[in-house]
Chains A and B, each alone.
Chain A
Amino acid sequence: MAKILEGPAMKLFNKWGIPVPNYVVIMDPDRLAQLGEANKWLRESKLVVKAHEAIGGRFKLGLVKLGLNLDEAYEAAKEMIGREIGTSVVRQVIVAEMLDHDEEYYLSIAGNRDGSELLLSNKGGVDIEENWDTVKRLFIPLDETPSLECITEAAHEAGFSGEIAERVAKIASRLILCFDDEDAQSIEINPLVIRKSDMRFAALDAVMNVDWDARFRHADWDFKPVSEIGRSYTEAEQQIMDIDARIKGSVKLVEVPGGNIALLTAGGGASVFYSDAVVARGGSIANYAEYSGDPPDWAVEALTETICRLPHIKHIIVGGAIANFTDVKATFSGIINGFRESKSKGYLENVQIWVRRGGPNENQGLAAMKKLQEEGFDIHVYDRSMPMTDIVDLALNS
């Protein structure tokens, strides 16, 4: 799942003939004045300025300003750019034409196992939540394109009529094309607005997710997906992502502020179960981590050091299932080096370490881990005979 920002989404809409308002994305407010000279719409329309970043709840944070003229838009942009929200910084704003409109509609499409589903409603905008039951749903089987008649009929069932129904159906058919050809996972346009005087439509706001795994067949994807964790990445997370991009196998990290149980776990499946076990036993996780696919020891070492630096941690869970091909001895030697390095820098004081693992060279790996006891680590090592997540119970009961 890769969410993309409004700017790139609008660009893709344009490509497929879905009407969008005029817009520009800027990093420097002064650029807006120059753009104003070049573009009549910037001088003559009411404008909206929005932070062009992956920040939730922008409206409440004052990162969306409506109904501005060019000078006011300049001021708004100046105020927004550079603002720090938690760990993120506003670097770009999108300035768009605020189309005077008569009605707001809802149009979306999302993939499912057998194809996709098109959703249509003539009660868009903020009203959509309460009118969810009236939304018309049209199932589109995989690799099939519904006829314009079929979509128009759906539009009628959604409450549209006359020329508007035909125009909405046309936009929906282009949305389906865009969805299919751009390997999208979901596109939600809310609202799709209409100005009846000149029958002009525009997608005023949109959320689009594309399948990032399909990027190899999209040469024109010049954007990067927005952070998948609902906020921008921290420096430590970014560092681990950079390592991840360079290695065979993978290392992953998500920080969860406020927790005191750190996870240094292996495998995409098992790591989630360790997080679950902490939560189920009333603990709070300080992070989510995962290494898998037999990554090199230095990558695991870097992940270990990052995790040891997490504030206020009381336990580190070095957990994992019985690996199929990840070498336990090699990955553990990375973890051991990371522990030693961290200890020498003053971390890991009063931190208990709990280990459970199996897989290739498990005996040597576990023995090496156990030897850390001799170096003064508070470490508890278990082999495959210990049920996988039961070390979490031991940690929380200690």
Chain B
Amino acid sequence: MSILANKDTRAVIIGGIAGLNAARRMAQFDFLINRPLTVQAFVYPPEEGQQKEIYRGGELNNVTVYSSLEKALEENPQINTALIYIGASRAYQSAKEALDAKGIKLVTMITEGVPEKDAKRLRKYAIDCGKIFNGPSSIGIMSAGECRLGVIGGEYKNLKLCNLYRPGSFGVITKSGGLSNEAMWLCAQNGNGITSAVAIGGDSYPGTDFVTYLNMFENDPETKAVVIVGEVGGTLEEEAAEWLGKEIRRIKVIASIGGTCQDVLPQGMKFGHAGAKEGKKGLGSARSKINALRAAGAVVPDTFGGLSKAIKQVYQELLKSGAIKPEAELDEKLLPALPPSVQEVMKQGDVIVEPLIRTTISDDRGEEPRYVGYAASELCEKGYGIEDVIGLLWNKKLPTKEESEIIKRIIMISADHGPAVSGAFGSIIAACAGIDLPQAVSAGMTMIGPRFGGAVTNAGKYFKYGVKEYPNDIPGFLNWMKQNVGPVPGIGHRVKSVKNPDKRVKYLVEYVTKQTTLHTPCLDYALQVEKITTAKKDNLILNVDGTIGCILVDLDFPEYSLNGFFVLARTIGMIGHWIDQNNQNSRLIRLYDYLINYAVKEEREVPEKK
């Protein structure tokens, strides 16, 4: 048996993230004792309509968040308990609404820092409605083997250690939340565990008091003794003593009262819970509470540490008198273990999971990213540059100094080619339409393809093919290209020609062949091809795509990576154009009519639809 919370308890949690965490802890208890989910709904207007994931063991449940208690109850009429997890400024209103709701019999509030007047009003209101308002500042309510409300009881392991999976014979009432857990443990360690435990909160004017629950425990035949943990301040402990002394009670009372140290502290020095304040003339002092409880027949040890012995003693007496029958120890192995997460099981090596993706270039699981094993900061410290990072991430090799110089120069001369080309123009149109940077740059990026900048890969690919298959037979290569591919990628320019050479090509070729020691079979081959093609037609020169493609092949980059150099380089330019347009606050543009040839049909009437 139990008080306040039992197997039929169904709860709504009013509040945000703290409430969700509590709901998850509560579901762990639901799993332990194999009962249906306690939390049936959340009320939290900012997250209306969301579903919250709650695991009861391995079973995933979705619990709905409602914008109002009324709606939550309309769809979940089985709810009979409300837990208030909302901030102090809204706690009063929420609790009052909950007390007003017809089906709700118990409202318990964890919120701290609730104004005293609000707490006093809620207490009175609950009494007038014939309902229970527990808290504020209550960690929750636990009924062993039946129901957990709030995070009371702590982690899963502790639920088992405190025997909370099955009822014992001790009731627990505390002001402090931490000590409710401690008291439950003491009852399990020195006795047979608890029936129910209630934290009433440490505020000055809690909604309920020791007497409220002592009466309930007295009427619960399974509860044989009650452990009270009180403290200096107020008169709730004195009232408990009065209750105990008034008539012969069935239950035994064991108590510990905090705050005796205040007798010897410098005058006026106070600490602890909000309610832990001694009144005038020693009223509500820990000492007066202890004396009152002892006089009424309660067992009150000198220190909290003495509770262990006191509980043990009472338990032995109850066993002797036959009020409690000794219970066979339950093998803990019979209790379910909380299903571990995949990560936990993998750590223990008990499961094999086939990976979804595989990577061979980088890893940021440590303190900083590592590129092919090298720490990024160490690369910086040792003087490496962005060219070397490209070498690592695209080709898994650290380039030599000479090689990285070439990579750097390729990127530098390809970074931009003015606003008129497809890529830059695309980005500019987007920027003028007010599009954000990433989208505007990808508009330009979309242009990169067979006619614009996208020939690097194919140029590299086919010249490499030529070197391999037609090493000394350029006409044979050209013939093969004609039959199988078409025009040679990397050969030909719209405006440049032999007489009007592309300066970038000239520069790159001269730099690579004259100022570096790079072995350039592919570039050499392409230059041989150019000699033959320009003999046929003046503008069939080796263009910049072809040049870059060949050099990169000679640098040993994989052929499918080659377009990446143009993409990377042009990104710099496109970002520049986007920033430039924004700086100038450019307006939306559209083509002038005179730039369009409207080769359309004349105006005519739409025929009737057939």
Contact = CB atoms under 8 A, between A and B. Distances in A.
Contacts of B231: 269, 272
Given A113-B120, A216-B88, A268 B273 contact: yes
Interface in A98-127: 111, 113-115
Nearest to B120: A142
A207 to B, nearest CB: 12
Q: Which of B25, B180, B274, B305 has the most CB of A within 10 A?
A: B305
B308 interface: yes
Contacts of B123: 113
Given A230-B270, A322-B185, A360-B154, A268 B202 contact: yes
A384 B178 CA distance: 13
A245 interface: no
Contact of B116 (A211, A288, A321): A211
Contacts of B177: 267, 269, 324
A358 interface: yes
The residue in A213, A281, A288, A323 that gathers the most chain B C-beta atoms within 10 A of its C-beta is A213
B182 A229 contact: no
A113 B303 CA distance: 29
B395 interface: no
A383 B179 CA distance: 16
B179 A269 contact: yes
Contacts of B546: none
Contacts of A13: none
Given A214-B117, A290-B271, A268 B176 contact: yes
A123 B124 CA distance: 35
A276 B182 contact: no
B305 A359 contact: no
Interface stretch (A68-76, A164-172, A388-396): A388-396
Given A268-B272, A277-B304, A285 B261 contact: yes
B417 interface: no
Interface residues of A, number: 61
A152 to B, nearest CB: 26
Contacts of A185: 116
Given A276-B258, A387-B305, A322 B265 contact: no
A390 B231 CA distance: 19
A256 B266 contact: yes
A278 interface: yes
B303 A272 contact: no
Contacts of B205: 113
A323 B277 CA distance: 24
B307 A387 contact: yes
A27 B276 CA distance: 35
A284 B154 CA distance: 32
Interface in B155-209: 155, 158, 161, 174-182, 185-186, 189, 202, 205
A134 to B, nearest CB: 17
Interface in B256-272: 256, 258-261, 263-272
A265 to B, nearest CB: 10
B89 interface: yes
A254 B269 contact: yes
Contacts of B274: 1, 213
Contacts of B4: none
Contacts of A279: 260-261, 263-264
Contacts of B510: none
Contact of A254 (B179, B271, B306): B271
Contacts of A34: none
A271 B180 CA distance: 14
A280 B175 CA distance: 21
A273 B151 CA distance: 22
B522 interface: no
A248 to B, nearest CB: 10
Contact of A322 (B151, B158, B175, B229): B158
Contact of A213 (B113, B263, B306): B113
B185 A384 contact: yes
Given A229-B269, A267-B178, A360-B155, A183 B117 contact: yes
Given A1-B277, A214-B115, A272 B182 contact: no
A252 interface: yes
B8 interface: no
A387 B180 CA distance: 15
Interface in A188-217: 211, 213-214, 216-217
Given A269-B273, A322-B158, A229 B179 contact: no
Interface in B121-144: 121, 123-124, 139
B41 interface: no
Interface string B456-474: 0000000000000000000
B585 to A, nearest CB: 42
Contacts of B202: 268-269
9 contacts: A185-B116, A256-B266, A269-B176, A276-B259, A321-B182, A324-B154, A358-B185, A360-B158, A390-B303
| Leading 9 A-B pairs by shortest Cβ distance | A269-B176, A230-B268, A267-B178, A321-B182, A214-B115, A389-B305, A387-B305, A275-B261, A272-B258
Interface of B: 21, 25, 88-89, 113-118, 120-121, 123-124, 139, 151-155, 158, 161, 174-182, 185-186, 189, 202, 205, 229, 231-232, 234, 256, 258-261, 263-274, 276-277, 286, 302-309
Interface of A: 1, 56, 111, 113-115, 142-143, 180, 183, 185, 211, 213-214, 216-217, 228-231, 252, 254, 256, 266-273, 275-281, 284-285, 288, 290, 292, 320-325, 358-361, 384-385, 387-390, 392-393
